[in-house]
A and B are shown apart, each in its own frame.
Chain A
């Protein structure tokens, strides 16, 4: 069974930084692309970033480009999201999710999700 466990969320001031982690188990972590999706309180889902299985390719939504960095350590089965210059509008539950392909491509589907970690940006 695929398991994805996020950590690292919390309260941070505007302009601050935070690093989220996600440990995957129950599947060959280094054979699948991964992604981060967020959900603001009471709002819908927003795709944030994606990374290929080998970390060669990364992708970002315009809303976070230049501020967030996605990375992975396949030796630790761990996905990361480094978030800098945080804004109030970044407040959301951040979900780590597995894709069903090696690369982030048109045929990719997000097929498994973690339970999420809450990030609150407020002074």
Chain B
């Protein structure tokens, strides 16, 4: 089971939007509506920001939104703020010999 594919980097100016893709297969992203997204600042633990493709945990700003089409899930960060600069990882259940698979990670830079 390979990691889900994400672009290595993405960037935007404050106030702009950035969208990160997460591409898998029919055995993971495309097969289930259980894609999560995590934000990780340098030296810190990951933090859940989206689950079940589109849902936000309590306390996560509505600037973060998720979607899915086929085998690709996406995270959109609207109204970029300086504190959004971080690494972002997607994850999904994987119907294979590995239960849970993460994406390769995307570094978001706020210009």
Residues of A within 8 A of B (CB): 35, 37, 44-47, 50, 59, 61-62, 95, 100, 104, 106-116
Contacts and interface: CB of A to CB of B under 8 A. Distances in A.
A10 to B, nearest CB: 19
Given A111-B51, A113-B47, A44 B36 contact: no
Interface of B: 1, 3, 32, 34, 36, 38, 44-48, 51-52, 57, 89, 91, 93, 95, 97-105
Given A109-B51, A111-B57, A44 B3 contact: yes
Contacts of A115: 44-45
Contacts of A62: 1, 97-98
B52 A109 contact: yes
13 contacts: A44-B89, A44-B102, A45-B46, A45-B91, A45-B102, A46-B102, A47-B91, A95-B45, A107-B93, A109-B36, A109-B48, A110-B36, A113-B45
Given A44-B3, A47-B100, A95 B46 contact: yes
Nearest to A61: B98
A95 B103 CA distance: 17
Contact of B98 (A45, A47, A111, A114): A47
Contacts of B100: 35, 47, 50, 108, 110
